[in-house]
Copies of this chain bind each other. A is one copy, B any other.
Amino acid sequence: MRRALNLAALGVDRTSPNPLVGAVVLDAAGELVGEGFHARAGEPHAEVGALAQAGARARGGTLIVTLEPCSHHGRTPPCTEAVIAAGISRVVVAMADPDPRVDGGGIARLRGAGLEVIEAVAEAEALRLNRAFVHRVRTGRPLGILKWAMSLDGRTALANGQSQWISGPDARAWVHGLRARCDAVIVGGGTLRADDPLLTSRSRRDPEPLRVVLSRSLDLPDEAQLWDQAVATTLVAHGPMSGPDQQEREARAAATCALLDRLGVDRLELGSCEPAPLLEALAARGCNRVLWECGPDLAAAALSQGCVQELAAVIAPKLLGGLAARTPLGNLGLEGMDQVQPWRAHERRDLGSDLLWELESLESPAVHPGSFTVGVGSARPGSAG
């Protein structure tokens, strides 16, 4: 299973909306005869690749796969049928597929066909590997990461708004890699107006993550790096176009809409201009993981609406000071220290002279380093089919 999980990880950054899956086929004598992983949505599933490699040697053998084989027709035919047709006699599965179209149906189908199925082998590791996919399937929203860079005194800009650069080049390169691990990067209209960001992974991901602007006013600049659709795709999301204050901003909003249409920038009208409906729309577009790179008010709204499961704070060894200087978060409406939820420290490391501290919501599944000790041999007997 460790090998299958490593294979699964080869598809990282490219399988959304699908999960990462790896598979290994052993012949009847226990010898490795096939390997496969899911490389990209629309391409063959991991099991199919591993079975094809094994050919006739799969007969009477064992399939070890990180995710329950699918039993439904999607963009590819059901994997259960390919497993049965290959003559596999035993299937070892790390985790059930939370997709409601599968959800145990694949395992039931295999058992119904007389195959032995061993479940929940290295399940915690498999869940962690696919935590963004699992979160999206369970909640209907992509997993959200909130990232910011600040000084040691908690400032994201000087009093005059200057913010480039608080963190050093190593930290900025790390952010490019972080974007490559996400399907979309979200800012608000204020960040677009103030910083004119590029928001790409600098070609570390192909295609680049979707760049999303959530704009209440649609008062957006005529010139912006985000408007260049040759670099990466941009989506401008906004609230209902008709509203009480619509009249006064109508002209500006209409001009922006015309500009976006002319530039080929996608537009999306949400039921309300809030983080939660935006994430639901992005989940429907196949996003498993999104990155919030926004200002304090949108960040606070995203947190308050349960749209953030992971934090990534870059802390620079500098002091900016200033009561008017910007800070990472707006009002969370907390009135007592007992309402403050701690986050679980995940990783901490140096990025040049800056410090990166990554944390996770206590609701996320935790996997402690070194807990990966299970293999086929240690499958829990109680969970064997």
**A343 touches which one: B152, B341, B357 (CB < 8 A)?**
B152
- Closest-by-CB residue of B relative to A166 is B337
Q: What is the minimal beta-carbon distance from A333 to any residue of chain B, in angstroms?
A: 8
A353 touching B348, Cβ below 8 Å: no
Which residues on B sit within 8 Å (CB–CB) of A353?
Answer: 342, 345
| A177 located at the interface, meaning its Cβ lies under 8 Å from any Cβ of chain B in the complex | no
Give the contacts of A319-368 with B (CB-CB under 8 A): 319-324, 327-337, 340-345, 348, 353, 355, 357, 359
Known: A317-B344, A323-B330, A327-B327. A337 touches B165 (CB 8 A): yes
Residues from chain B with a CB closer than 8 A to the CB of A348 are 355
Q: Given A150-B154, A153-B328, A327-B153, are A319 and B337 neighbors across the interface (CB < 8 Å)?
A: no
CB distance from A304 to the nearest CB of B (A): 9
> Which segment, of A111-119, A156-164, A224-232, faces chain B?
A156-164
Each complex incorporates copies of this chain amounting to 2
Interface residue A210 (Cβ < 8 Å from any Cβ of B):
no
Chain B residues near A154 (CB-CB < 8 A): 150-151, 153-155, 327-328
Nearest-neighbour CB distance to chain B for A155, whole angstroms, equals: 7
A63 at the interface (CB under 8 A from B): no
Complex interface: chain B residues within 8 A of A343 (CB): 152, 317-319
The residue of chain B having its C-beta at the shortest distance from the C-beta of A148 within the complex is B153
Cα distance A162–B340 in the bound complex, in angstroms: 12
Tell which of B313, B332, B337 touches A162, judged by Cβ atoms closer than 8 Å.
B337
Known pairs A317-B343, A345-B317; A327 contacts B331 (CB<8 A)? no
0/1 interface trace, chain A 298-319, chain B, CB 8 Å (1 if under): 0010010000000101011111
Chain A residues with CB under 8 Å of chain B are 150-155, 158-160, 162-166, 296, 300, 303, 311, 313, 315-324, 327-337, 340-345, 348, 353, 355, 357, 359
Supply 7 further A-B pairs (C-beta < 8 A) apart from A154-B328, A318-B343: A152-B343, A158-B335, A162-B337, A319-B332, A319-B343, A321-B333, A322-B330
Q: Could you jot down 29 A-B contacts, CB within 8 Å?
A: A152-B313, A152-B359, A153-B328, A155-B327, A158-B334, A158-B336, A159-B334, A160-B335, A162-B336, A163-B337, A165-B337, A166-B337, A303-B321, A311-B319, A315-B357, A316-B342, A317-B343, A317-B345, A317-B359, A318-B342, A319-B332, A319-B341, A320-B329, A321-B333, A322-B332, A323-B330, A345-B353, A345-B355, A355-B357
